[in-house]
Amino acid sequence: MVMFDELHEEFRQSVARMVQQHIVPIADEVDQTNRFPEELLEVFADMGLIQLAVPEEYGGPGGDLTATCIAREEIAKGGLTGLGQLGGQTGVFVQPLLAFGTEEQRQRFLPELAKGHALTCLAMSEPHAGSDAAAMTTRAVKDGSSWVINGQKCFITWGSVATYSLVMARTSDRPRGEGISAFIVDTSTPGFVVGRHDRKMGQHGVPNVELFFEDLRVPEENMLGEEGTGFRLALRSLHVNRPTIAAMGIGGAQAALDYAIAYCNSRMVRGRPVSSYQGLRWMIAEAATELEAARCLVYECARQFDSGLVSRDEIGTISSMAKAFAADVVMKVTTNCVQFLGGHGYMQDHPVERLFRDAKLIAILEGTTEIQKEVIARGVID
């Protein structure tokens, strides 16, 4: 079993307690209404969860990648897998700022983010540029000391509630990723327009929206990294974030398995608990084993990064392995958890139905499994 050192274990237990108190009681209602449970934000900020990745020198808790994976796994166990993303919510903004930003930019944004009251989002995908994000057409044109951005993004998680967005836009006609730059955008800027809210299969409680940029004016000092390096910067940051998405999926699937085991222990068929039939016992044993294997890969990836054994440039292969493997496992496990409950598993009266819907996203979010396999193949073959 994956074991943590004392500090991480204490942290895990404190998140688990919070989840029992604040998420478990609202999980079913939030799934049914698909409302964004804003009341959780204060609780999460007080625990340092939203701002987990902000280093101590900027006033944050200085959580490492292992801590973010723990937070996401434990939050997802509360029964709403997607809410796991609130653990280290600002990570995909903070990580590139730390790695590619200037000290002036870090000083400008990190102390505020350290308070945990500002959410962030990453605006990269477009209706015709998802897996092939380098095909994006959102354009930024220099005008005096500003860049003026026009274009459209889709599916953006937290896009309607974020204070800052990391926006990718084309700044030149150089081929593919070389023409793309990254901008830090205050979402209250005129021209930052939130469009339709997506109606999703699962992961309810987490807002996803279209974004439109209509002559959105961004000061030149808000460009992150050099002009033309935005695409590389985003990919490096997503590589580091992938084990946290896997951890979130594992948390949701573990919640489904725990529920299914308790159900099978009490469900009597032909005078015996169904958990006593070997057919189910072996399926449960396999599910527990595969989840643990996925967990091992996730936390090994995080350990290698936290201890400096792999850099941001080198983590891609193992982080894609962790996410692709976990995505398959959580889909298989949650599918079987529905099966363990028979007809009852198909009903919304039991959380396995919701966790099964939630699990599907792990193979799509932040790069599909097919794209992860491309990254892995490049790492092991080329």
Ligand X SMILES: Cc1cc2nc3c(=O)[nH]c(=O)nc-3n(C[C@H](O)[C@H](O)[C@H](O)COP(=O)(O)OP(=O)(O)OC[C@H]3O[C@@H](n4cnc5c(N)ncnc54)[C@H](O)[C@@H]3O)c2cc1C
List, by residue number, the catalytic residues. 366
Between 156 and 264, whose beta carbon lies closer to ligand X? 156
Strands 272-273 and 268-269: antiparallel
Between 124 and 355, whose beta carbon lies closer to ligand X? 124
Neighbours of 104 (CB within 10 A): 9
What sign results for the dihedral spanned by CA atoms 250, 252, 255, 257?
negative
Query: With CB under 6 A, what is the number of residues at the site for ligand X?
Result: 22
Among 70, 136, 162, 361, binds ligand X (CB under 6 A): 361
End-to-end CA gap in the chain: 33
Between 131 and 137, whose beta carbon lies closer to ligand X? 131
Q: Is 19 in the site for ligand X (CB under 6 A)?
A: no
Q: Is 244 in the site for ligand X (CB under 6 A)?
A: no
Q: Are 89 and 120 in contact (CB under 8 A)?
A: yes
Minimum distance between the CB of residue 27 and ligand X, rounded to whole angstroms?
18
Among 189, 335, 339, 368, binds ligand X (CB under 6 A): 368
**For the purposes of burial, counting CB atoms within 10 Å of the CB of 134, is it exposed (0-12), middle (13-18) or buried (19 or more)?**
middle
User: Nearest to residue 250, comparing CAs of 286, 290, 281?
Assistant: 290
Structure tokens at 327: 């995505």
Between 61 and 230, whose beta carbon lies closer to ligand X? 230
Between 152 and 222, whose beta carbon lies closer to ligand X? 152
Among 83, 294, 366, 375, binds ligand X (CB under 6 A): 366
Rg (the chain; Cα; Å)? 21
Structure tokens at 82: 């997607």
Between 54 and 365, whose beta carbon lies closer to ligand X? 365
Minimum distance between the CB of residue 363 and ligand X, rounded to whole angstroms?
8
Q: Is 34 in the site for ligand X (CB under 6 A)?
A: no
| Cβ neighbours of residue 218 closer than 8 Å, sequence gap 6 or more | 140, 146, 147, 148, 149, 167, 183, 184, 185, 189
- Residue with smallest beta-carbon separation from ligand X: 130
Q: Is 195 in the site for ligand X (CB under 6 A)?
A: no
Between 125 and 339, whose beta carbon lies closer to ligand X? 125
Minimum distance between the CB of residue 238 and ligand X, rounded to whole angstroms?
9
Among 108, 111, 364, 379, binds ligand X (CB under 6 A): 364
Q: Where are the beta strands (DSSP E) in the chain?
A: 120-123, 139-143, 146-157, 164-170, 180-186, 192-197, 208-219, 223-224, 268-269, 272-273
The dihedrals phi and psi of 267, each to the nearest 5 degrees, come to -80, 115
Q: Which positions from 283 through 322 interact with ligand X, judged by CB under 6 A?
A: none
Distance CA 243, CA 231 (A): 20
Q: Is 189 in the site for ligand X (CB under 6 A)?
A: no
Minimum distance between the CB of residue 5 and ligand X, rounded to whole angstroms?
32
Q: Which stretch binds ligand X (CB under 6 A): 18-26, 106-114, 273-281, 364-372?
A: 364-372
Place of tokens 């997506």: 198
Among 84, 87, 205, 367, binds ligand X (CB under 6 A): 367
Minimum distance between the CB of residue 168 and ligand X, rounded to whole angstroms?
8
What single-letter amino acid sits at 62?
A: G
Q: Are 284 and 257 in contact (CB under 8 A)?
A: yes
Q: Is 124 in the site for ligand X (CB under 6 A)?
A: yes
Q: Which stretch binds ligand X (CB under 6 A): 65-73, 120-128, 267-275, 277-285?
A: 120-128
Which residues, in sequence order, are bridge partners of residue 212? Answer: 152, 193
C-alpha pair distances (Å), 173 with each of 132, 322, 348:
16, 35, 50
Q: Are 11 and 67 in contact (CB under 8 A)?
A: yes
Q: Which positions from 148 through 177 interact with ligand X, judged by CB under 6 A?
A: 155-157
Q: Is 125 in the site for ligand X (CB under 6 A)?
A: yes
Among 15, 113, 122, 331, binds ligand X (CB under 6 A): 122
Q: Which residues here bind ligand X, judged by CB under 6 A?
A: 121-125, 130-131, 155-157, 200, 203, 208, 361, 364-368, 370-371, 374
